[in-house]
């Protein structure tokens, strides 16, 4: 059993990220080997980085950081659901990443990106070196959704096409493989 945490990146009122994340969650929970949790960066509501020490020292002074640390430490794998703002990923996601260090390490991360023509791919490309610095393993298999709003119905439910599902299944399969391969590295 692997614990997978799906993390959304956008926080603005009226954001569409939760609709895409809800679809990813629906799909992931069908995998019996996965325990799935959705983490909304807006709900986690971290302030701008306010820890005095480098996170690799794990000398956290704030309760919000200790809570966030426990949540991320508990995960075996991640799926980042992200849009792209001005060809990069949203700042609240970077802030949430920077709060921690060891908690992210030796864990695979899959991507589901959405946007206009670029489908959020530029955001994902910018995330990869950042996550590699934290010793994460960014997966090649990913879901990129161009002009994603055409898949939202009147209730703002994301209705995927066959290709989206196929891509997501490929990403999840790869994530499970890496979660198993990396688990021994995290054992003390």
Ligand X SMILES: Cc1cc2nc3c(=O)[nH]c(=O)nc-3n(C[C@H](O)[C@H](O)[C@H](O)COP(=O)(O)O)c2cc1C
Binding site for ligand X (CB under 6 A): 10, 12, 15-17, 83-87, 115-116, 118
Task: Tell me how far, at minimum, the Cβ of 10 lies from ligand X, in Å.
Answer: 3
Q: Which residue's Cβ lies closest to ligand X?
A: 115
Task: Tell me how far, at minimum, the Cβ of 12 lies from ligand X, in Å.
Answer: 5
Task: Tell me how far, at minimum, the Cβ of 149 lies from ligand X, in Å.
Answer: 7
Task: Please say which residue, 83 or 164, places its beta carbon nearer to ligand X.
Answer: 83
Task: Please say which residue, 70 or 87, places its beta carbon nearer to ligand X.
Answer: 87
Cα distance between residue 153 and residue 44, in whole Å: 27
Task: Please say which residue, 16 or 64, places its beta carbon nearer to ligand X.
Answer: 16
Task: Tell me how far, at minimum, the Cβ of 120 lies from ligand X, in Å.
Answer: 6
Q: DSSP characters for 113-144?
A: EE-STTTTHHHHHHHHHHHHHTT-EEEEEEEE
Task: Tell me how far, at minimum, the Cβ of 113 lies from ligand X, in Å.
Answer: 9
Cα distance between residue 25 and residue 73, in whole Å: 20
Q: How far is CA 107 from CA 54, 76, 175, 176, in A?
A: 20, 6, 9, 11
The position carrying tokens 């919000």 is: 64
Phi, then psi, of 22 in degrees rounded to 5: -65, -40
Cα distance between residue 128 and residue 137, in whole Å: 9
Task: Please say which residue, 40 or 103, places its beta carbon nearer to ligand X.
Answer: 40
Task: Please say which residue, 109 or 112, places its beta carbon nearer to ligand X.
Answer: 112
């Amino acid at each position: 059993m692997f614990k997978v945490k799906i993390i959304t990146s956008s926080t603005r009122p009226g954001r569409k990220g939760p609709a895409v994340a809800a679809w990813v969650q629906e799909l992931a929970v069908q995998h019996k080997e996965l325990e799935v949790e959705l983490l909304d960066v807006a709900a986690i509501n971290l302030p701008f980085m306010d820890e005095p020490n480098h996170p690799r020292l794990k000398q956290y002074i704030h309760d919000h950081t200790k809570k966030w640390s426990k949540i991320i430490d508990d995960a075996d794998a991640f799926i980042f659901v992200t849009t792209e703002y001005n060809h990069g990923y949203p700042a609240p996601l970077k802030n949430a990443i920077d709060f921690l260090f060891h908690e992210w390490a030796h864990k695979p991360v899959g991507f589901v990106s959405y946007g206009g023509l670029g489908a959020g791919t530029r955001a994902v490309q910018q995330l990869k070196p950042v996550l590699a610095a934290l010793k994460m393993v960014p997966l090649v298999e990913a879901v990129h959704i161009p002009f994603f709003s055409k898949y939202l119905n009147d209730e703002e439910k994301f209705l995927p096409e066959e290709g989206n599902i196929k891509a997501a299944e490929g990403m999840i399969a790869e994530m499970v493989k890496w979660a198993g391969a990396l688990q021994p590295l995290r054992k003390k």
